[in-house]
Amino acid sequence: MDERILGILSCPKCKSGVSIKGNELVCVKCRGRFGIINGVPVMLDDKNQKEIMGSLKTKNLVSSLKQRIKFSPALYSFAKWLVSPALMLNQRHRKILKELDKDALVLDLGSGSRRVDRRVINFDIAAYPNVDIVGNGCMLPFKEDIFNFVILNTVLEHIKDTKTLLLEVRRVLKKGGIIYATVPFMFKFHSSPEDYYRWTISGVSELFCMFKELEKGVSAGPSSTLIIVLSDFIAITLSFGSATLYTFLYVFFGILLKPLKLLDFLMVHNRNAHNISSILFFVGKKE
């Protein structure tokens, strides 16, 4: 296991340190035990594992396909580029990464199989390729005040208890540390494995009220919303209740309408674009 990761881990229950014993991590205080699979610590107790594995059981064809594709980073990146109805224009997290020094600690919470920078520690609820630590975002297995930067890219809509997760993010951020997050506004229902919330531009400020707001705005604009609505409307109308036909039609028309995404380059800077944008972003700081 990476020594850097071992040095920042803590027991997700009591937040005490952990030590390696054989092929396990053991909490020095409560004696909780956590497995290590192929060098990746799985910071979930038995109850957590059962709950999370149960939630990952796919309920429909789209979710099933997404789960499978996530295990191939190259295929997942291509599929997102090809099929995703949203053109993600805002890349503030990459700019922030460039401004950090080489020893900065960065957490990508809900990373999936993508790795945005070699300094980033990838964290997710499943052991996808490139995931460094498996765990529950509402019980982060890290010591306090250790990360310079935390990334949350379209994650919070899938979390039932967003307040607890954000309190955990605040706990592990250093004073002055930065949080970057994107959240959906006018976006279709997408259970991966579940989908609970949407936020307006005002709702974004309320959601992240425990951080000092530095910037917020449109990440994927009105054109992305148009593609989502048109593709879904046509797929629902012509599929006649068939899940397989619906999925095919949604993907087909999403690809067919893909060139419309380019209009977002023109619309994203309009002061009213947030009124019907598909995804919004927030940049904040822990004071």
Do the domain assignments include residue 35?
A: no
Report, as an integer, the average pLDDT of 233-259.
Answer: 93
Report, as an integer, the average pLDDT of 202-208.
Answer: 98
Distance CA 174, CA 285 (A): 9
Position 4 scores a pLDDT of 83
3-class DSSP state of 131 = coil
**Cβ count within 10 A of residue 18:** 22
Do the domain assignments include residue 137?
A: yes
Q: How is residue 133 written in tokens? A: 């630590």
Which of 76-80, 160-164, 278-282 bottoms out in mean pLDDT, i.e. has the lowest?
76-80
Residue 133 pLDDT > 70: yes
Do the domain assignments include residue 178?
A: yes
Do the domain assignments include residue 27?
A: no
Position 61 scores a pLDDT of 60
Q: How is residue 126 written in tokens? A: 């499943």
Do the domain assignments include residue 232?
A: yes
CATH number at 213 reads 3.40.50.150
Q: How is residue 169 written in tokens? A: 């993010």
Closest CA to 30 of 40, 15, 41: 15
Contact 58, 67 (CB under 8 A): yes
Report, as an integer, the average pLDDT of 160-188.
Answer: 97
Distance CA 103, CA 59 (A): 42
For 245, phi then psi, to 5°, come to -65, -40
Dihedral sign for Cα atoms in the order 26, 31, 32, 33 = positive
15-70 residue pLDDT tens? 999 999 988 999 999 999 999 988 999 999 776 666 665 555 555 666 666 667 77
- Give me the percent of the chain exceeding a pLDDT of 70: 91
Domain span at 148: 65-285
Confidence band of 183 (pLDDT split at 50, 70, 90): very high
For 27, phi then psi, to 5°, come to -65, 135
Residues 6+ apart with CB under 8 A from 131: 40, 111, 112, 113, 122, 123, 124
- The mean pLDDT value of the chain amounts to 89
Do the domain assignments include residue 52?
A: no
247-276 residue pLDDT tens? 899 989 999 998 998 899 888 889 999 999
Distance CA 236, CA 243 (A): 9
Confidence band of 170 (pLDDT split at 50, 70, 90): very high
Report, as an integer, the average pLDDT of 115-134.
Answer: 92
Do the domain assignments include residue 50?
A: no
- Give me the percent of the chain exceeding a pLDDT of 90: 66
Pair type for strands 147-153 and 106-109? parallel
Do the domain assignments include residue 245?
A: yes
* Total of domains in the chain: 1
Residues 6+ apart with CB under 8 A from 135: 12, 42, 43, 44, 123, 125, 141
Position 54 scores a pLDDT of 55
Distance CA 83, CA 189 (A): 15
Distance CA 171, CA 134 (A): 19
Confidence band of 111 (pLDDT split at 50, 70, 90): very high
Position 51 scores a pLDDT of 61
Please report where in the chains the tokens 């300094």 appear, as a residue. 119
114 vs 197 pLDDT, higher one:
197
**Cβ count within 10 A of residue 32:** 18
